[in-house]
């Protein structure tokens, strides 16, 4: 069993991954094959990450605000607090804040082939 005490402070996410600044809190990091990674992310209104996919898929849990999600070739859909979203392995997508609301979610993904995400 691992118990991790995380700082409540968020840090600014890498600018090359989104359309604007965002905040993140790494809850569980690692690089071992099959390891679960987790983070809390907050996007200000209108900000979203660039298109990406996850080799083992991604599970999101919306904590607050109104978000928008889209898979390649699909419609943009609205999500709200309490909604859970599953993106299948390799499914190209994005998930960000609606134009008039901040958006915070928990993101869970597993390391596969040495990585948790592929940025397009």
pLDDT per position in the chain (120 positions), as tens?
877 777 678 899 999 999 999 999 999 888 889 999 999 999 999 999 999 999 999 999 999 999 999 999 999 999 999 999 999 999 999 999 999 999 999 999 999 999 999 998
DSSP for 6-31, please give it. --S--EEPPGGGBSS-EEEEEEE---
Residue 87 pairs in a beta bridge with 58
Smallest CA-to-CA distance from 33 within 64, 66, 56 is with 56
- What residues contact 16, with CB distance under 8 A and at least 6 apart? none
Instruction: Give residue 31's pLDDT.
Output: 83
Instruction: Give residue 100's pLDDT.
Output: 98
Classified as helix, coil or strand, 18 is: strand
The rounded distance, in Å, linking the Cα atoms of 5 and 80 is: 27
CA 103 to chain centroid: 11
The H or E element spanning position 74 is: none
Instruction: Give residue 111's pLDDT.
Output: 96
**Does pTM top 0.75 for this prediction?**
yes
Question: What torsion do the CA atoms of 79, 74, 96, 34 make, to the nearest 10 degrees?
Answer: 90
């Amino acid at each position: 069993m691992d118990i991790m005490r995380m700082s409540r402070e968020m840090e600014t996410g890498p600018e090359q991954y989104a359309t604007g600044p965002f905040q993140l809190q790494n809850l569980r990091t690692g690089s071992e094959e099959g390891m679960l990674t987790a983070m809390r992310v907050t996007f200000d209104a209108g900000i979203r990450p660039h298109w990406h996919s996850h080799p083992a898929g991604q599970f999101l849990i919306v904590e607050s605000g109104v978000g928008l999600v889209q898979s390649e070739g699909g419609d943009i859909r609205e999500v709200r607090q309490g909604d859970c979203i599953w993106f299948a392995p390799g499914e190209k997508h994005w998930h960000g804040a609606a134009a008039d609301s901040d958006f915070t979610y928990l993101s869970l993904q597993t390391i596969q082939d040495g990585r948790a995400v592929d940025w397009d």
